[in-house]
Structure 1
Amino acid sequence: MPIYAVIDIGSNTVRLVIYQEKPSGRYEELHNVKIVARLREDLTEDLVLTEAGIKKLIHILTHFNNILDEQHVDTMICAATAAIRQAVNREDVKRRVSQETGLTMRILSEEEEAYYGFLAVKHSIMVSEAITIDIGGGSTELTYFKDRDIQESISLPFGALTLKRRFFNAKEDKASLEKLLLFLQAQFEAIPWLQTGIPVIAIGGSARNLALIHQGLHHYPIGGLHQYEMDPSEIPTVLNELISLDVSDRQKVEGLSKDRADIIIPAISSFQALCECIEAPKWILSRKGLREGLLYEMIHRSNGVTQSEVSVLDKSMTELENDFGTDTSDTGEVVRLAKMLADLLEEHRFFELEATDRKLLESAGRLFQLGQYIDREAASQHTFYVLSNRTIDGLFHEQRVKLALVASFHSKSRLEEWAQPFKGWFYKKERKTLSYLGSLLKFSKALNATDRKIVEAISLKEHESHVEFIIHCRKDCLSESYQAEKYIKHIEKAIKKEIVLTFEEMGM
């Protein structure tokens, strides 16, 4: 499969990330190399990138070239952002890089930098309207998108490094912090197109650090950062805790990178000020940003196709199916039967489902017991662990845990046990629905026990003392009837009614 590389020359760090496209059309990260360069500090007051800064950059890019020589990369891009863009001698820097490394450095415009961040969000998070913020070392990019199309963008001429130099050059204290927050508030309030009451999606290293710190403070029970959600009212708590520490103590904070300890205050302040300005209901982390935006464009151009509008979640489901060797013919039949049962039971008023529940039933059915790829005897345990801890584009963390609980369903008691660490996430009624969805999938799997797809239809009759499921089969169904009798108890518990199974072979 094709291999792609992105070199991202930022104001604070320079990164080389190498990706490989997967059969599903998604990609995996093979290598991620970061060098803290702080090129913004090599810009003079007249915005000239110093000779020392140029040599530092060329030294890093030469090192990256040595890595690339071993990787058989098919397509690559070397992109520079604010530090180079703001340099008055940027064309000379570009020429020197080309001559001494052989790399063609593309200097992104403010609009391009903002757009690629948005593009990464669009392809990895299912949110229809939001404000994105990407605070780098020397600039801050904001976009507003609605119906998943970008509406407005702006690049503000300050970042974590420049704000640190302006407000915390002498010392870091709460008085300086207040001045910074007032400055940021004025900057954001001056943007006429900012909308209120919509989420803020944060991109970049400082945003990742804030999420990690917050997870550490709350002993977060699952892995993964992408699509992590915070209540914006909790940001000031983290900020005040960090401002009370000196830089050396801050470096010991769990989740905070040592190289960001001296610039994290301005970055988090920017998130707080923006959330307060637009009265954001949520702060969401996107682990995908500029580099992934550039990658998406490279992949689509290399494949000669336009950017697909296939659902982000559907793409993620396909990727999981491919990665774990899922028999989509079998799971497709399980989903068909589970939907049929859900319709019957709702028609007879035993259990009503919301549209989101039905979507969850379909997604969990596609991945039902995928952990058998690892170990068939412990398929349920592996399914829950994989799905609850793996980043799944298109699903927030709470949704991911719901998917894991349903797709791994073994029994109601097992579901309650595994849901224990997330007790505050789901109401009792929600857990009841999750158990019901899991019971439908488990029973449907039994009806396709021999992978022959022999169930033509299911009908339901209500009796005074019980409910009768009549299973209409195209062929003999001895194995299916045996398995179904074992697992019908889970649906019985969910609807609180005895169920009698009758299997009828069609044409007999």
Structure 2
Amino acid sequence: MENLAIIDLGSNSIRFVALRIADNHSYSLQYQEKESIRLGQGLNQTGILSEEGMHRALTCLNVYKHIMEVMKIDICVAVATAAVRNAANGSEFLERINAETGITMKIITGEREAYLGYLGVINTIALKDCLIFDLGGASIELTLVRDGESVHSVSIPIGAVTLTEKFNMQGNIDAIVLQDCLRYVKKKLSDIKWLREIDVPIVGIGGTARNFAKMDQRAESYEFSKIHNYIISLHSFNTLYTQITTRTSANRKKIAGLSSERADLIVAGAAVIRTIFDISGSLSMTVSGCGLREGLFFEYYAKYMHMDKPRFDDILDFSINNFIGTLGTTINCTHYDQVTRITGMLFDQLKVLHGYGGRERLLLMTAARLHDVGKIINFYDHARHSAFMIGHAPLYGLTHREQMIAGFIAGFHHGISRKTLRAYRYASMATAGDWDMIRKLSTLLALAEASDLTYEQIVKDIHITLAENVVVLVLTTIPGATYNAADYEMKQIVKQFKKEFGAALILVWK
């Protein structure tokens, strides 16, 4: 087991996370803390970190040191970014941190900051081609990703704090000042030749991007509060941008979802994102809740696991395995694997009947692999608990809607239940067509679950024959198997199968 802390000392905020790598190699977040310390405030004018900002940082760091002692954390990866990197007294401040707290902190370059942000995104969002930007208080890092690889990256010393101070944009916004800021940012970004008209989605890291996600979710009455992998269209961004840049300072603070801590910085941040949209030609922004800290962790985890590279080839598969690993010995992996195998065979051999493709299969397999996780809460109603857990688990590679659909499929693996539907608040995230698919796929999962009712993995193979309005399911068992219980349980689903697929189901055991 390994306990690890990561500290990210930025220009606007300081963040602390504690993670644990278990003996089974699964990892989990144990603790998180974030404070707005405005370390970079005044840096534009003085070129040094202010005593007030350093004091705020040290206060937090002393708290984090105590937390590490309580949690028995021996390994701390601590980095400082643009504010400390650009300040004349940055190195001196790190020496002071070490002397007062015992924490050893390193300044990282802008290029390394961009790379770590890339690792945080590429391991948690299923985009092979995109432009990643990490907008901080004193710098912005941009990385162009093609086919999953970082092909270009750059760090530019402009950020939400420094731009706000440079153009005095804390209060009411003058239209001329805003245009001056936009021209300044555009000039800085236009010098990057590979950035023009790249025609890929943009992925935003940092407080400004996250705050836009929160505002858009409130504006859209979005039921799910998850920020990571939330997508904002260009149209929605422009609507929010207009509100932010035309309201008075007092009215701007009333925008639903806008953090009070960021109300004075949001205009400058919005100007940067607006410019990125314009120059790149992108039509949407995916907001990432994962960035530098996650990149640092994945880098550490790769070394700990002796991996060739700090990247996962299949982020959904890895995150499902990791989530199962965090649940401990309560999981019957042999049963899970058997149900998943039979579910996949049913889906593939009934494709003529249901007509679904690879993406739907992926959602069904996700549901199958995690269908019983709700037992960790309570055996009774565990299918409903599984639905909630799957919908909120740290799974990567699915959209919000897809993750919810996988949860719904698992939620009905003991039969279609109106009780489950009424109890689940996110039902409106699925369309009528989605619900038709959910009912069909959950029926297949229910059949697979019933075939392993006794947890003996008696079904070795299946073969399906389709005739007019009749499905003959032949189940081949292991030698000497007793299949009475499984046969009885599967026959309880025959009526549901007929309703969903319009065909009679006949079971044959051999």
| Aligned residue number for residue 498 of structure 2 | 492
Corresponding residue for residue 365 of structure 1:
368
Specify the alignment match of 2:190 in structure 1. 189
Contact 2:202-2:286 within 8 A present in 1 as well: yes
Residue 311 of structure 1 and its aligned partner are, at CA, apart by: 1.5
2:136 is aligned to: 136
CA separation of 1:367/1:68 partners in 2, compared to 1, >3 Å: closer, same or farther?
A: closer
String of CA shifts for 1:117-165, please: whole Å, max 9, x gaps: 1111122112111111111111111111122221111111110011112
- 2:341 matches 1:340: no
Residue 15 and residue 499 in structure 1: after superposition, are their counterparts in 2 closer, same or farther (change >3 A)?
A: closer
Shift of 1:252: 4.5
Hey, what's the Cα distance between the residues in 1 that align with 2:417 and 2:70?
Answer: 51
Separation of aligned partners in 1, 2:354 and 2:393: 31
Q: 1:89 maps to what in 2?
A: 89
Equivalence for 2:212: 210
- Name the CA shift for 1:380/1:390 in 2 (closer, same or farther; >3 Å): same
- Listed as ranges, the matches of 1:372-451 within 5 Å are 372-409=375-412, 410-411=414-415, 414=418, 423=428, 426=431, 428=433, 430-451=434-455
Cα distance in 2, alignment partners of residues 308 and 158 from structure 1: 29
Structure 1 residue identity aligned to 2:359: T
Tell me the alpha carbon deviations over residues 81-117 of structure 1, each in whole angstroms, 9 at most, x when there is no partner.
Answer: 1111111233333333333433322111111111111
**Equivalent pair of 1:369/1:408 in contact (CA under 8 Å):** no
- In the alignment, structure 1 residue 261 sits paired with structure 2 residue 263: yes
CA deviations over 1:51-84 (Å, ceiling 9, x no partner): 5544554444334333333231121122111111
| Structure 1 letter corresponding to 2:184 | F
RMSD (Å) for aligned C-alpha atoms: 2.6
1:424-466 Cα distance to aligned partner (Å, 9 max, x none): 75362x4333322211110111111111222233333445563
Name which of structure 1's ranges 268-277 and 410-419 shifts more when overlaid on structure 2.
Answer: 410-419
- TM (normalized to structure 2)? 0.90
Quick one: structure 1 residues 44 and 243, their matched pair in 2 at CA, closer, same or farther if it must change by over 3 Å? Answer: closer
Q: What number of residue pairs does the alignment pair up?
A: 501
- The one-letter amino acid of 1:314's match is D
Structure 1 residues 301, 458: CA separation in 2 closer, same or farther (over 3 Å shift)? closer
Decide whether aligned partners of structure 1 residues 23 and 203 sit closer, same or farther in structure 2, where only a CA change above 3 A counts. farther
Give 1:305 shift: 4.1
**SS of equivalent residue, structure 2 residue 182:** helix
- SS in structure 1 at match of 2:48: coil
Please give the per-residue CA displacement for 1:299-350, whole angstroms capped at 9, x wherever unaligned. 333455443534211121112323443322112111221222223223xx32
CA distance in 1, matches of 2:346, 2:88: 68
Task: Give the direction of change, closer, same or farther, for the CA distance of 1:408–1:55 in structure 2 (3 Å limit).
Answer: closer
**What amino acid is the match of 1:500?**
I
Q: Name the structure 2 match of 1:163.
A: 163
- Equivalent-residue separation in structure 2 for 1:353 and 1:495 (angstroms): 13
How far apart, in 1, do the equivalents of 2:259 and 2:466 lie?
62
Give the CA deviation at 1:480: 0.9
Q: Do the aligned partners of 1:446 and 1:483 also contact (CA within 8 Å) in 2?
A: yes
Q: 1:279 aligns with which of 281, 293, 299?
A: 281
The code of the aligned residue for 1:496 comes to G
The amino acid across from 1:387 in the alignment is I
Runs of 5+ unmatched residues, structure 1? none
User: Hey, what does 2:9 align to over in structure 1?
Assistant: 9
- 227, 232, 235: which is aligned to 2:234? 232
Q: Does 1:452 align with 2:456?
A: yes
CA distance 1:67–1:183, shift in 2 (3 Å)? same
| Pair 209,416 (structure 1): closer, same or farther in 2 beyond 3 Å | same
TM-superposed CA distance for 1:174, in Å, is 4.0
Change (3 A) 1:275 1:489: farther
* 1:481/1:41 CA distance change after superposition, 3 Å: same
Cα separation, 2, equivalents of 1:442 and 1:13: 48
Identity of aligned residues (%): 27
SS at match of 1:41: coil
Give the drift of 1:244. Answer: 4.2
- The residue aligned with 1:317 is 320
C-alpha distance in 1, partners of 2:59/2:372?
Answer: 49
The answer as to whether partners of 1:235 and 1:268 remain within 8 angstroms in 2 is no
1:472 corresponds in structure 2 to 476
Displacement, 1:397? 0.4
Q: Find the aligned partners of 1:65 and 1:42 in 2 and give their Cα distance.
A: 27
Secondary structure of residue in 1 paired with 2:41: helix
- The aligned amino acid for 1:288 is C
Structure 1 residue 227: Cα displacement? 1.0
Q: State the alpha-carbon separation in 1 of the partners of residues 217 and 249 from structure 2.
A: 21
Q: Which runs of 5+ in 2 are unaligned?
A: none
Q: Is the 8 A contact 2:450 2:486 kept in 1?
A: yes
Structure 1 residue aligned with 2:335, among 326, 330, 334? 330
Could you list the per-position Cα deviations for residues 373-428 of structure 1 after superposition, in whole angstroms to 9, with x for gaps in the alignment?
A: 32222122212222223342222202111211212225456487689955575362
TM-score by length of 1: 0.90
Distance in 1, matches of 2:348 and 2:397, equals 26
2:43–2:162: 8 Å Cα contact kept in structure 1?
no
State the Cα deviation string for residues 233-274 of structure 1 (Å, max 9, x = none): 211211222334444444454432221110012112322221
